[in-house]
Amino acid sequence: MKNQLKRFRFWLMAIVVVGSAAVIIPNRDTLQAQAKERYSDLQLFAKVLNLVQQYYVEDVDLKKLIYGGIKGMMRELDPHTNFLPPDIFKEFESETAGEFGGLGIEITVQDGILTVISPIEDTPAWKAGVKAGDRIVEIDGTSTKGLSLAEAAQKMKGKTGSKIKLGIFREGFEKPKDFVITRGVVKIRSAKYTDLEEGYAYVRLTSFIENSFSDLDKALKAHQSKYKEIKGLILDLRRNPGGLLDQAVQISDLFLNEGTIVSTIGRNKKDKEVLYAKRAGTLPNFPLIVLIDEYSASASEILAGALKDNKRALIMGQRSFGKGSVQSVVKLGDGSGLKLTVARYYTPSGRSIQAEGIVPDVSVEDLNTDVLKKATDTKRIRREKDIQGHLLSEAEEEEKSKGLTNPVQFWWTADGEKDPKKMSPRERLLSEDFQVGQAYNYLKAWRVMTQYKGDAVSVAPKSETQNSKTE
């Protein structure tokens, strides 16, 4: 026992030595005073640990006490800084690979309450009806008050096929409701592509994992090969909680041939790290619209900010989440890990994302298309084509010759509306998602308007004042 305590004190001393060496202070007396103060505080911790081990009413596990002390230390910092015991750290590593067991939700702590940033599409939580903004107040009947993110995540994970009960409070609920979810193997499909036809494409990025860049790149190259060009792209980052920074940087670089992508600044303001776009591998300069909402966070905001500030894309939707801090993950000797906030993100224009988010160029609310359809029905205007037996237009004659008796109908058209079950992915997307419909209208208008300028290619000029680095 005494040997364990002695080794523990030596470990604490090592921390003091390393920490002191990292700070350059010319005054030797000041350095010694600070080191003495730190050692005194650590001695207090060691003394409490010793007293608990010797006099607590029951035997205690030394490692459990040390882990508990570290967790308490982390609670004094921001919600994204966490200590990850070996079992949790192992699961954390598997999540970034795109396949893991669990529910499939990204969580954070807001105002002391465990809150869902976003459920990942096609996961157990998504299918059970969990929504972005839900507040998880109980897990299997136990209050979540005081839980760290790592602890909450650990409680939610379990064997595939086992059930978990989440007590969720949502705006509009009079009291929390129980959601029973069956845990499953979560396989994340990061890039979801839809052919909008006529050369236009839609890709939804659900998260940033190891294969996000490659999946997006493959989808766009296949589309480009099919149509010989990409006339326009809607890149959907709504409800995307973020993920790996390098994936956001690579995807930004796919659309930018120069300029800053993102910069990070830590405690020392002079230590600024800047990541730049490279010319190699950049896609042609076609119209690009990025959709964001209040649940687009972290890596999503880095990508949206880079494209916005470099004037490469039009940002549509709603202000993003505002998670602009950088976490560095360190694997410790016993298999545990430390997820530590070490810096803040800044967009190319020098704006911090933290607690501010990305403000869209065009604000578009996420309206209910069913309500819009009903409103359209009540205000229906009859035209020549609505008269039975009318003389067919040339377009109608062509459709008739091709056997097309039921042309595509969007949310704003009540006539001849298709059964959703018989719709193509394109038809369903444009008819059911108001924001995507608006983005699609902007894309087509963008293409038309550039023709009046005599320039149908260079639709998003770069800022001449933007610092750049080309390789």
127 and 218, same domain (yes or no)? no
* Boundary (domain end) residue, out of 167, 187, 207: 187
- Would you say residue 65 lies in a domain? no
CATH number at residue 176: 2.30.42.10
387 and 310, same domain (yes or no)? no
Q: What whole-number distance in Å separates Cα of residue 203 and Cα of residue 180?
A: 31
Active-site hit among 207, 298, 300, 320: 298
- Residue 178: active-site member: no
Q: Would you call 66 exposed, middle or buried from its count of C-beta atoms within 10 A (0-12, 13-18, 19+)? A: middle
Query: What are the CA-CA distances from residue 33 to residues 30, 39, 92, 404 (Å)?
Result: 5, 10, 40, 85
Active-site hit among 134, 236, 253, 309: 309
336 and 213, same domain (yes or no)? yes
Instruction: Compute how many other C-beta atoms are within 10 angstroms of the C-beta atom of residue 149.
Output: 18
199 and 182, same domain (yes or no)? no
The pLDDT tens digits for 151-162 are 888 888 888 899
Active-site hit among 157, 323, 339, 373: 323
Kindly report the pTM of this predicted structure. Answer: 0.73
The token pair at 326 is 């950088």
* Boundary (domain end) residue, out of 138, 169, 187: 187
275 and 319, same domain (yes or no)? yes
- Residue 269: active-site member: no
Least confident of 122-126, 175-179, 233-237, 319-323: 122-126
233 and 325, same domain (yes or no)? yes
State which residues form the domain around 387: 369-432
- Would you say residue 88 lies in a domain? no
269 and 413, same domain (yes or no)? no
CATH number at residue 304: 3.90.226.10
- Residue 298: active-site member: yes
The pLDDT tens digits for 436-458 are 999 999 999 998 887 765 444 44
- Would you say residue 198 lies in a domain? yes
270 and 303, same domain (yes or no)? yes
- Would you say residue 7 lies in a domain? no
Phi-psi region of 113 (alpha: psi -120 to 50; beta: other; left: phi over 0): beta
- Would you say residue 47 lies in a domain? no
Least confident of 10-19, 78-87, 105-114: 10-19
pLDDT number for residue 381: 64
**Total number of domains constituting the chain:** 3
pLDDT number for residue 157: 80
Q: What whole-number distance in Å separates Cα of residue 242 and Cα of residue 188?
A: 13
Asked if 166 and 138 touch (Cβ cutoff 8 Å), the reply is: yes
351 and 416, same domain (yes or no)? no
